[in-house]
Chains A and B, each alone.
Chain A
Amino acid sequence: MTEPAGRDEILFSTVIALPSAERELYLDRACSDSDTRARVQVLLDASERCEDLILDDASEHPLDAAQAQVENYRILEDLGEGGWGTVYCAEQMSPLRREVALKIIKLGMDTKAVIIRFEAERQALAVMDHPNIAKVFDAGATDAGRPYFAMELVRGVKVTQYCDSIRATIAERVALFVQVCQAIQHAHRKGIIHRDIKPSNVMVTLCDGEAVVKVIDFGVAKAIQSGPPENTMLTVFGAFVGTPAYVSPEQMDYGARIDARSDIYSLGVLLHELLCGGTPFAPGDLSPSALHSLRSRIRSEEARLPSKFLRTLSVAAAHKVADCCRTTRSRLIGQLQGDLDWIVMRCLEKDPVKRYQSARDLSADLQRYLRDEPVVARPRRLLYSFNKFAKRHRIVFATGAAVIAALLTTSVLTSWLAVRATRASLLAQSVATFLEKDVLVQSAAGVPLRTLLDRGAEKVGARFANEPLVEAAIRSSLGTIYDSIDADREAQSQFEQALAIYDKEYGARDVRTLAAMAKVATSLVKQQRYSEAERVTLRALEHSEKVLGAKDVEASLTLSTALSLVLFEQGRIEESRILLNNDLISSQLAIFGPDHPLTLRSKLGLASMNLLQGNLGRAEALAKEVLDTRARIFGQKHSATQEAARTLREIYERAGKCSVAQDLGNAYQLQDDNQVVATATLVPQVPTLYEPYPDLWDCYF
């Protein structure tokens, strides 16, 4: 298919900006058909000769000679103009001769102060060494007294322009954006906050045909922005020219604390633009009144979900965006819905506390998205009622939802074992037939599983109107499949309908009803709707004790642990601790033994609670027992062992035993960062069409 001619300009402009050695490779990559390539090549050839067609009065890139006299640099070429000044390609004379990018700031500001602030950060800037970061070499004053910055010369194009010009797919865009996150993460670890992340500061160059991100201008924004209030008003306004759309709400307020999370916000805006072709509060124009309203919108208005944003564009505009992503409007909306919507929204939270806490967390979530694993940035409702103290210790909680979900699933399994024996084979037959004939038979046509499920779910009610138990069994199966693909809301709906039928047919005191309750609770926990989950789990627990009694203590004990963690997630630590008291652990010890995963899970939970309540001795003893046991059973590298080791390290650190903590970290090779344990290994992975029987061990961890 020949591409539309409208893209020629983007391709041409991109190629023109590249060094000539890279042009061929770029064209190979960007042009999907030979026609387009030939057209662009003709234009490139023409660009060499078109001078005499129209007389050009001014030279291509006029240099302002007066402002461009800089000692020790020879200015070669005007590369472009940004909000703050002009960037030149220049040759540095000493200490070594090299080509650099020279950014000369145009605003009338206190040059000395700018240079002093730059000097303050020079040491930190110097230790940054990352393939995706352009180095800043120097700062000084031009002969005309303007501040300038000398930086690594990056010959490339803006990341947004690059993506549109090669019509990068959403996955390719996300993969490229992960490089941006890695660069920012590196800087943050060195204590440098960028403060002005926007497309023109995120360039893409080609290196042997591979797209490489280069983040430029580190240290520049800080040197220019901070200062006494009067000055800041001026410079902040200056800094906003052209880039207000990328600035976090806290950066709008003088005196507000700006930290790494301000960069996370700007990263979110950039990601938003890469995914849906515009910034969340797209500025129509940059007149002062528009600027003012934009600022107040950034402060107070909630951004729309990226998929909603696309819907609000005119159909033609949305098509154009989708075309640049090599897809159609409706497919693009579908691709953004869910994970990417949530990830972007998490970055754009007004309150820095609610955003990703590091660029690494953001990039980890994007990589999860790329691997089709559940992302962390799911809508949260109650989670932030957590107290600050708990937040400091979030390692302990990081696995919360996944672990609870796994526990609840396990409680279903144990109950279900009892049901299974008595299940009529006729019922199983109906379920199997329905799923095979009505749901799966169509998959040959390449229909996505999700669509098949939706269709199946629609049919069930009518098909089995007179056989409620069959309907319930099927809904339960559908729910399980939905659950396995993390369509939690749909899973919840199926489980709730199954629960309603069992409740009606058998009453609350039945194992089937009980199992359905646990499943509903699982879906709620996965959506982090903890207070609703609490209600359902509590009800299941009450009934389980009456229904199952001594026959199935395991279900009750599992539900107890799950419930205590649900309370824990809501920050109700005291209640949680009471529930997960020593009695419960004693029962588990007696029934399952000291090495049983549930016993260990409860102990570790109790250790975390003791930590939070300051009972460090008790916390340490519990965590140490769990760690030793898990290390013995699984080895040091296993995620379960690592989890226990991180908890114990946290306890040591709280107790001020820093060297012990360090030794522990080294012994278990723990990561420095609060690395979130991949949730995928924590929830049952393999969807089966009947009931999931995942490895019980996996379930507990």
Chain B
Amino acid sequence: MKRPEKKSPGNGTEQLASAVYAELRRIAAAQMSRMPLGCTLQPTALVHEAWMRLRKSDASTWHDQSHFFSAAAESMRHILIDRARRRSAMRHGGQFQHVTIAENDLPLRLDNDEHLLALDSAIERLTLEHPEAAELTKLHCFAGIDISEAARVLGLTRATAYRRWLFARSWLYKELMS
């Protein structure tokens, strides 16, 4: 209750999020075109490259780093979830596009699409009940920022961030097990 109310995601945030999304896809596509087939994308590297570029391109829009990382996490989440959905669908016939994402880059199991989709909808529910814990979770899981770094981005002490992270994980575990 000490932290000021977080800006609710209004139009401005959506615009920024779509800008980040576009940028992430563009960087990914560029990497793909340079690489031979079957290349591996590294989400964390993508996010950081996007951050460097966007900050340079339009300094005024990206005054707030936490703002950017939230948008980046959201975008990366879309990319990963879309991919998981498509792959689940593909398995029932259809072409399979060979884009691999580095498995150990994010603290997620990207090899199990059902698990990922279930986790994602649990995070969705976490957002409704505990928005701050969900925000931290997304930053960590999808933008790949570690907890200490996320603490800095969100203006929390490290101890608070670790405790919040432990809470979020416990909550998600409970949610998936029930």
- Given the complex of chains A and B, what is the CA–CA distance between A256 and B123 in angstroms? 52
Q: Are B141 and A54 in contact (CB under 8 A)?
A: yes
Known contacts A50-B173, A54-B107, A320-B1; is A285 also within 8 Å of B155 by CB? yes
Chain A binder among B13-21, B76-84, B156-164: B156-164
Q: Which residue of A lies closest to B130 (CB)?
A: A9
Q: Is A656 an interface residue (CB 8 A)?
A: no
Q: Is B108 an interface residue (CB 8 A)?
A: yes
- Given the complex of chains A and B, what is the CA–CA distance between A13 and B160 in angstroms? 8
Chain A residues within an 8 Å CB radius of B132: 9
Q: Are A57 and B146 in contact (CB under 8 A)?
A: yes
Q: Is B35 an interface residue (CB 8 A)?
A: no
Q: Is A369 an interface residue (CB 8 A)?
A: no
Q: Is A417 an interface residue (CB 8 A)?
A: no
Chain B binder among A76-84, A639-647, A682-690: A76-84
Q: Are B129 and A50 in contact (CB under 8 A)?
A: no
For window 143-178 of B, CB contacts with A under 8 Å fall at: 146-148, 155, 157-160, 162-164, 166-167, 169-174, 176-177
- Given the complex of chains A and B, what is the CA–CA distance between A320 and B2 in angstroms? 11
Query: Contact partner of A80 among B158, B172, B176, CB < 8 A?
Result: B158
- Given the complex of chains A and B, what is the CA–CA distance between A50 and B173 in angstroms? 6
Chain B residues within an 8 Å CB radius of A242: 157
Known contacts A46-B171, A50-B173; is A58 also within 8 Å of B147 by CB? yes
Q: Are A42 and B158 in contact (CB under 8 A)?
A: no
Q: Is A60 an interface residue (CB 8 A)?
A: yes
Known contacts A16-B163, A43-B167; is A53 also within 8 Å of B173 by CB? yes
Chain A residues within an 8 Å CB radius of B4: 282, 284-285
Chain B residues within an 8 Å CB radius of A317: 1, 5
Query: Smallest Cβ distance from A406 to chain B, in angstroms?
Result: 44
- Given the complex of chains A and B, what is the CA–CA distance between A58 and B104 in angstroms? 12
- Given the complex of chains A and B, what is the CA–CA distance between A320 and B133 in angstroms? 18
Query: Smallest Cβ distance from B173 to chain A, in angstroms?
Result: 4
Query: Smallest Cβ distance from A166 to chain B, in angstroms?
Result: 15
Q: Which residue of B lies closest to A44 (CB)?
A: B170
Candidate in B129, B170, B176 with the most chain A CB atoms within 10 angstroms: B170
Q: Are A55 and B174 in contact (CB under 8 A)?
A: no
Query: Contact partner of A43 among B104, B119, B159, B170, CB < 8 A?
Result: B170
Q: Is A321 an interface residue (CB 8 A)?
A: yes
Q: Are B146 and A58 in contact (CB under 8 A)?
A: yes
Q: Are A46 and B164 in contact (CB under 8 A)?
A: no
Q: How many residues of B contact A (CB 8 A)?
A: 35
Chain A residues within an 8 Å CB radius of B146: 57-58
- Given the complex of chains A and B, what is the CA–CA distance between A72 and B177 in angstroms? 45
- Given the complex of chains A and B, what is the CA–CA distance between A239 and B117 in angstroms? 45
Q: Is B109 an interface residue (CB 8 A)?
A: yes
Q: Are B107 and A277 in contact (CB under 8 A)?
A: no
- Given the complex of chains A and B, what is the CA–CA distance between A61 and B167 in angstroms? 15
Chain A residues within an 8 Å CB radius of B130: 5-6, 8-9
Q: Are A55 and B108 in contact (CB under 8 A)?
A: yes
Chain A residues within an 8 Å CB radius of B164: 9, 13
Chain B residues within an 8 Å CB radius of A9: 130, 132-133, 164, 167
- Given the complex of chains A and B, what is the CA–CA distance between A44 and B169 in angstroms? 11
For window 67-116 of B, CB contacts with A under 8 Å fall at: 104, 107-109
Q: Is A257 an interface residue (CB 8 A)?
A: no
Q: Which residue of B lies closest to A82 (CB)?
A: B157
Interface string of A29-51 (1 = CB under 8 A from B): 00000000000001110110110
Query: Smallest Cβ distance from B113 to chain A, in angstroms?
Result: 16
Query: Smallest Cβ distance from A365 to chain B, in angstroms?
Result: 26
Chain A residues within an 8 Å CB radius of B174: 42-43, 46
- Given the complex of chains A and B, what is the CA–CA distance between A379 and B169 in angstroms? 51
- Given the complex of chains A and B, what is the CA–CA distance between A54 and B138 in angstroms? 12
Query: Smallest Cβ distance from B115 to chain A, in angstroms?
Result: 9
Q: Are A50 and B169 in contact (CB under 8 A)?
A: yes
Chain B residues within an 8 Å CB radius of A668: none
Chain B residues within an 8 Å CB radius of A467: none
Q: Is A324 an interface residue (CB 8 A)?
A: yes
Query: Smallest Cβ distance from B156 to chain A, in angstroms?
Result: 10
Query: Smallest Cβ distance from A68 to chain B, in angstroms?
Result: 15
- Given the complex of chains A and B, what is the CA–CA distance between A34 and B169 in angstroms? 23
Q: Are A55 and B169 in contact (CB under 8 A)?
A: no
Q: Is A314 an interface residue (CB 8 A)?
A: yes
Query: Contact partner of A12 among B109, B160, B170, CB < 8 A?
Result: B170
- Given the complex of chains A and B, what is the CA–CA distance between A514 and B107 in angstroms? 83
Q: Are B109 and A55 in contact (CB under 8 A)?
A: yes
Query: Contact partner of B129 among A5, A16, A320, CB < 8 A?
Result: A5
Q: Are B2 and A278 in contact (CB under 8 A)?
A: yes
Q: Which residue of B lies closest to A279 (CB)?
A: B2
Q: Is A233 an interface residue (CB 8 A)?
A: no
Candidate in A5, A49, A54, A317 with the most chain B CB atoms within 10 angstroms: A54
For window 266-288 of A, CB contacts with B under 8 Å fall at: 273, 277-279, 282, 284-286
Q: Are A12 and B159 in contact (CB under 8 A)?
A: no
List the 6 shortest-distance A-B pairs measured between CB atoms, nearest first: A80-B159, A50-B173, A46-B170, A47-B170, A81-B158, A46-B173
For the A-B complex with A8-B130, A61-B162 known, give 5 more contacts whose Cβ atoms are closer than 8 Å. Answer: A13-B164, A16-B167, A43-B170, A53-B169, A164-B1
19 contacts between A and B (CB under 8 A): A5-B130, A8-B129, A8-B167, A9-B132, A43-B167, A43-B170, A46-B174, A46-B177, A50-B173, A53-B173, A55-B109, A56-B107, A58-B146, A60-B162, A79-B159, A81-B159, A82-B157, A278-B1, A317-B1
